[in-house]
Structure 1
């Protein structure tokens, strides 16, 4: 499959569109923020296209999974365009609902109000999509008793260092859970993309009753902030 898509025409077309978009934005005098945001999104789309091609086992699988991944990025992008950030809770609950998993039924979510910045929001949306898809196709969401508990918190261990955002995705209700036999797209997103883009440390444990995935990443300004009850972030700037 990887050989068939070494020069995927969709990737070539996307790169050409990206070049045209840069020229148009430069010519129109678009703001630096707009240009930067669009460049980040286009770069992620190219990466998703290439990596999906490299890890797909069939053309049908490539097309099906690619559509879901692009949709996840698009949903995050819509929220980001509307408000400039995306809520961690909304990001996760919306992705679960796409897979017909309702909070309070097969999913429990808990954590402080975290507002993710655009790039971090898109990367996290893709990671959550992969966790959901894996739970539907290979994990606990295909079982009557299957559930997931998603908890996130802010860990301030050292006042001289940035706080850490810690998120744990824990599946329960499974049986005989085993590590995958191949390193697919989802594993590369969790192990490589999150580390590279967000400086995240990822711990994956295939426990008997389901997958446990723990992400720890620095909650610096480019990634996001905690929103208090008044709607202000940790720097006191209203959102």
Structure 2
């Protein structure tokens, strides 16, 4: 027996001795574990033929007479891709390696189940595989729950898209006239920015979204020449609320840049980057998101604040629990969001 296996057995026995020496080698204990475990525990020969099934396994597999199944090729319980995966798992385990897969297989009574399966070698005294241990966990309920969740998410997505379309149609019919065409166009663009951000979120089931994807999606109308943008930063996840607010903020900044800033002239560029590796004056790590324009016309401080400015200053900062500074430097607009690093989740 390899040293690692021997050490594991010795550790287990020492822990059992600490509980009660009588538990070591206790057949009743083994029988109780195999009967009480809800997983289907099986022993196969090296060719994958079924040799043993735990009492708990018979229960979950709805097996009344194991003798009718003993000796059957275990992969035959699986169909399609599951059959292929089961055969590959046997080959791997027989070669001394662990294998794992998920798939559909019916119980002995024909009821469909979805299983998470692990197959591993049982080593003999010579250290080579003598049998195979297969443990199957019924995860049908989990997959059914996920399917229901996906169905509800898809329905929510459909309803929100319909609502956005209706709002857009109402706006088009309400705000008529050439004198407000620019404001109507601006409103429609903002609605589209919300719709695009929502598409990103629905792909992640409304839980979170990668910041890179959110930013790039918000910039879609302006990415005909991608060389004008530098977009870089850590792999971070934004909450649904943060995703919507930063998508709208980036949309507003890009729209303003296209009208008056770096994107309004040839050669203008925008640098967008973020990180969580800086600290504030108290030594706490911060999330810093920066939009920086350069190469555009000389910028002047606006005389009034519109919807976009108020959105960036108030909503963006509030949704991240931080602050936003917009600096209208002559060389280009610089917008910086600072928030606690804990407000975003790292994927690494």
SS in 2 for 1:75: helix
Cα 1:156–1:170, aligned 2, differ >3 Å: closer, same or farther? closer
| Residue 204 of structure 2 corresponds to residue 78 of structure 1 | no
CA contact (8 A) 1:101 1:107 kept: no
SS in 1 for 2:201: helix
Q: How does 1:99-178 map to 2 (within 5 A)?
A: 99-103=222-226, 105-155=227-277, 157=279, 163-178=285-300
If the length of structure 1 is used for normalisation, what is the TM-score? Answer: 0.65
Cα 1:124–1:174, aligned 2, differ >3 Å: closer, same or farther? same
If the length of structure 2 is used for normalisation, what is the TM-score? Answer: 0.46
Q: What's the CA shift string for 1:156-188, capped at 9, x where partnerless?
A: 638x99742101111000232101121111110
User: Of Structure 1 and Structure 2, which has the larger fraction of its residues in strand?
Assistant: 2
Cα 1:94–1:162, aligned 2, differ >3 Å: closer, same or farther? same
2-side partners of 1:64 and 1:164: how far apart? 36
The match for 2:213 is 90
| Residue 347 of structure 2 corresponds to residue 227 of structure 1 | yes
- Could you say which structure has the greater relative contact order, defined with CA pairs below 8 angstroms and 6 or more residues apart? 1
What's the C-alpha RMSD, in Å, of the aligned pairs? Answer: 3.2
Cα 1:117–1:181, aligned 2, differ >3 Å: closer, same or farther? same
**How far did residue 101 of structure 1 move?**
4.6
**How far did residue 193 of structure 1 move?**
1.3
**How far did residue 109 of structure 1 move?**
1.1
2-side partners of 1:195 and 1:94: how far apart? 20
The match for 2:318 is 196
1-side partners of 2:278 and 2:258: how far apart? 34
Cα 1:139–1:101, aligned 2, differ >3 Å: closer, same or farther? farther
The match for 1:207 is 329
2-side partners of 1:196 and 1:142: how far apart? 30
2-side partners of 1:154 and 1:191: how far apart? 21
2-side partners of 1:79 and 1:97: how far apart? 13
Cα 1:161–1:66, aligned 2, differ >3 Å: closer, same or farther? farther
Structure 2 residue runs without a partner (length 5+): 1-148, 169-178
Q: What's the CA shift string for 1:24-63, capped at 9, x where partnerless?
A: xxxxxx9xx97xx99xx89xx8xx99xxxxxxxx632331
2-side partners of 1:110 and 1:138: how far apart? 24
SS in 2 for 1:83: coil
Bigger radius of gyration, 1 or 2? 2
SS in 1 for 2:187: helix
2-side partners of 1:206 and 1:191: how far apart? 14
Structure 1 residue runs without a partner (length 5+): 1-29, 50-57, 229-239
Q: What's the CA shift string for 1:187-236, capped at 9, x where partnerless?
A: 1011111233332211111112210111112243xx531111xxxxxxxx
